[in-house]
Structure 1
């Protein structure tokens, strides 16, 4: 939706508890629900651009990754257009605004939306079972109020912002209550994607990290262009596809619920077509400059996720053979001896207490970095260092190479 065009405002009914401190649920038609679902087709870079424009708080390590991309001189990119394509990734919706006119659900369908963005048909089974699925007690319905509101561009962007910072985005938006981000407990990523995928894609990238010996604290990573291209390429992935990679378990509760609702409550109940389901559950990649890079790393191979990092099959966005410094929160800057020493000094670490550790980044590690970037300002520590330290004393498993 373009702000210069005539404003489209979508009606939504919010049921709020009597104390006006909590949104119990919302009732909406297909138009508002479609606008909400359209967030899933937006690339992460587009979302970061929108959130930055609307002065949203820092989102995990994605905000600093995006800002590093903005600030990195075009000299470091493979072509003049490479940086611009990363900053403005193509998607199912042209432009940076969710399209309010895109139909994912069938006309005249009605929906219930939970405070945590679980979406379901208006009544599933019975009123009692519907409220139970929403986590709403019958006593909370006593003297509950109904707020009839209309959502336009401004309100939808505020909701997008709240999705990433609150477990209860509707309450946070309408009642002004802050809520910490909640992460659902999940099995390790390797168990989600399957060990067969790892065996089918044994190739990995080398990464050298600088660590404090006495504390095992990550100081920064020294990376070649292929690893930096991988990081920047993450910004081209649509949110729904990220959810698909991580099986609706990114740790961002509201987006996890929105994505899982497609299969749990919407598709198969005559409110969403198979085509719409496919577009939302696993949105396609449209940016040619990123498709080779991302699908070579997170593509499909016999229905298993693949991660090759094979330079003969992928295209690097970033020019080589220069080296780059990657901070724990994924800020990318050119690497030099003076810059590295300066960072170590700023952290008040003695050079004698610094060691270089070589790591390999493959499918499992790549997905861990992606997941950590959504919720943590220490994406490299959480995605690489902690798993490495945890498994340090365990026997290493050899990769099987064809």
Structure 2
């Protein structure tokens, strides 16, 4: 199964039981499996933002909304704490870049990498993310406007889009993803065993369908995985067309 990196999409091969109108399983590559595993590392704040508050089940979205509406005067550090709570960093997927706390949002927050500044006299080790903040040194009081480099160590799970390395699983084999997102290595014996497990009596009712999977489908899959045990059927069977 080849990926389509130019459009940030991957190709999935579905095996569908047309008699029950359900996806039995999908044949997937490393890229898709890494994306699924990355979902487990998403901060709850990122999940709420991706799904939007109006489509969340339960009341956790109300807690998120409370933080949005709470006046800055009640936070110890309004700039930092609201950023951490409302826009936590999301892990990097192997083919889909999920929004992080540095992404621009409808709230009008600044985007781009974090910038830090220090006093031009370097009279202390203090830094700030607000340019021209007055130096806390009582003998200095200059504007902290000298930008310093902010270094973030690259985690083992992060990958480059061009190299295709990193992630969680090896790319030397294909994988089977069940309708309920159970993942296992792809094999002919496993496929035959699954047909028996799913009580498939008419092999002629089985249909192969090739689909593309991108960011829009990824967000739908995230939402469906929280409320359904038939995720692939819900997201892929009726909403995606055959690739050319």
State the TM-score, normalized to the length of structure 1: 0.38
Number of the residue aligned with 1:84:
83
Number of the residue aligned with 1:75:
73
CA contact (8 A) 1:17 1:144 kept: yes
What stretches of structure 2 of length at least 5 have no aligned partner?
101-157, 240-244
Greater helix proportion: 1
Alpha-carbon RMSD across the aligned residues, in angstroms, is: 3.0
What stretches of structure 1 of length at least 5 have no aligned partner?
178-402
SS at match of 1:35: helix
Number of the residue aligned with 2:211:
149
Structure 1 segment 286-325 matched on structure 2, within 5 A: none
Q: Deviations over 1:100-146 (max 9, x none)?
A: 765211112211111111111113864443446xx522326442111
Structure 1 segment 193-212 matched on structure 2, within 5 A: none
Structure 1 segment 111-130 matched on structure 2, within 5 A: 111-123=175-187, 126-130=190-194
CA contact (8 A) 1:7 1:153 kept: no
Please give the alpha-carbon distance, in whole angstroms, between the structure 2 residues aligned to 1:35 and 1:72.
Answer: 34
Q: Deviations over 1:3-58 (max 9, x none)?
A: xx9521101011111247211111111111111211112111101111108x6x22
Structure 1 segment 8-19 matched on structure 2, within 5 A: 8-19=8-19
With over 3 angstroms needed to count, the CA separation of the structure-2 counterparts of 1:113 and 1:43, relative to structure 1, is same
Please give the alpha-carbon distance, in whole angstroms, between the structure 2 residues aligned to 1:174 and 1:92.
Answer: 24
Number of the residue aligned with 2:50:
50
Larger Rg: 2
SS at match of 1:138: coil
CA contact (8 A) 1:113 1:120 kept: yes
Number of the residue aligned with 1:96:
99
State the TM-score, normalized to the length of structure 2: 0.60
Matching of residue 60 in structure 1 with residue 58 in structure 2: yes
Please give the alpha-carbon distance, in whole angstroms, between the structure 1 residues aligned to 2:51 and 2:202.
Answer: 33
Q: 2:169 aligns with which of 105, 130, 143?
A: 105
SS at match of 1:59: coil
Moved more, 94-103 or 155-164: 94-103
CA contact (8 A) 1:17 1:140 kept: no
Number of the residue aligned with 1:30:
30
With over 3 angstroms needed to count, the CA separation of the structure-2 counterparts of 1:139 and 1:65, relative to structure 1, is farther
Number of the residue aligned with 2:201:
139
Please give the alpha-carbon distance, in whole angstroms, between the structure 2 residues aligned to 1:153 and 1:160.
Answer: 10
Please give the alpha-carbon distance, in whole angstroms, between the structure 1 residues aligned to 2:194 and 2:15.
Answer: 14
Equivalences, count? 169
Moved more, 57-66 or 90-99: 90-99
